[in-house]
Amino acid sequence: MNTNTNIDVAIVGGGIVGLVLALGLLRRGFQVKIYEKAREFHEIGAGVAFTANAQRCMELLDPHILEAMRKVANKNPNDHYQYVDGYNHQSDDPADNKEELLFQIYAGDVGFDGCHRAHFLDKLVSLLPSGVVEFQRRFNSYHDPGNGQKLALEFADGSRAEADLVVGCDGIESRVRQTMFGNENPVSHAQYSHKVAYRGLIPMDRAVTALGRDRAFNQCMHMEPRAHILNFPVAMHTMLNVVAFVDDPSDWSIEGKMDVPASRDEVVAAFAGWGPAVRTMVDLLPDELTKWAIFDTYDHPAPSYALGRVCLAGDAAHASSPHHGAGAGFGVEDALALSELLEQARDTLEHNTLINKAEMIAANLQAYSKARHERGQWLVQSSREVCEVYEWAHSATGGEPDKCKQEIEWRAHRIWYFDIEGMLKDAKDDFRRRLEEA
């Protein structure tokens, strides 16, 4: 018999997904502890974007999350996202920065709002009550002692903790994932996609001078063979976020650093043959940059996002290349599904104290995995494929603008027009069936 109907949740990792999940669970009255390996909160990268359905998930998790995001977000002033030919010169004048508009995709109210990762993280941190986060707690492993006892968490410094369930929100190099499936299992590790990304911020006044206000103030994809560049505004339209993607045929071990110092000269050399607008934008990047190796779970996806009373969310579950710009948003979807299901589990526990708490949590997490696995792994695969479209290398589209538009559009719509309420209903029904069959 259960004498305690509380469910203690341990979240490993204090990034955006971990914090959003924690806030959603705290709003529902759960006891939550975040274990973060760093000394303080920090986010890598520059820009992050959220679709309307990701924002709806934020609102359902906790309206304060959506409010926090909107305080630092930038709306796309245009209703359309622009896809331009960044490669071919449009004029004999080398100073002419005009690019041919290949096509536009209507976004309307369902497109992305962009913001700076660190700014959003700071807003989320301000919402957390004291005592929820423990820093410098590098997760090492977990152990299930059986007999319905709490899971035992072990950390690199030898310290321990207990929880009824563990959620790995510890990113692409997830130690929780490695512990679930075994360190030697290829499923436990992301693989190099042989793409690197150079990220940088350009002051908006300089960007407008180079690209024009319309291109600088709106999301714009500069399509080219073997590479592409994306730009969109962040920091309340005071900065232009630029991400340049380039092929890398060499190997890169995830056991080393996933980011290394780089110079603007590297990007200049990579885009030396492109059109004037791209070259001008690259010239405006800071002298010192960071080159990010893009890893994902395309080759060896996790067979499930849950094992026993342990589960994965965000990049720990479905690390994707960033070409759809939806990885963080999918992590927010994960957080909502998990929060709603765990609330259902707690309600079940309160109304039936004879139920086996540990077995019920395991069934609940299996329902979560089923609700999220297909969509999560689709994102990983589609992100790789849409990159080929951007670079005129996809077998079905080549460099034909009409075909490229159709291919990008149906994939974008699958991301944007997601039935959140339907997902939640199906997941809860699935959990209920599992309990009835147990």
The answer to whether 229 touches 210, Cβ cutoff 8 Å, is no
Half-sphere exposure of 156 (CA within 13 A, CB side): 11
Q: Report residue 79 as tokens.
A: 């209703």
The answer to whether 274 touches 86, Cβ cutoff 8 Å, is yes
127: phi then psi, degrees, rounded to nearest 5: -85, -15
| Residue labelled with tokens 């709490």 | 150
431: phi then psi, degrees, rounded to nearest 5: -60, -40
Closest C-alpha to 53, from 396, 331, 370? 331
Helix (H, G, I), strand (E, B) or coil at 272: coil
H/E element holding 120?
Answer: helix 117-127
CA distances from 422 to 50, 84, 282, 358, 417 (A): 20, 36, 44, 27, 12
Alpha-carbon gap, residue 401 to 51, rounded angstroms: 24
**Strands 191-203, 288-296: parallel, antiparallel or unpaired by DSSP?**
antiparallel
The answer to whether 380 touches 296, Cβ cutoff 8 Å, is yes
Catalytically annotated residues:
199
The answer to whether 295 touches 258, Cβ cutoff 8 Å, is yes
327-359 b/e with 16+ CB inside 10 Å = b? bbbbbbbbbbbbbbbbbbbbebbeeeeebebbe
Q: Report residue 178 as tokens.
A: 């490695």
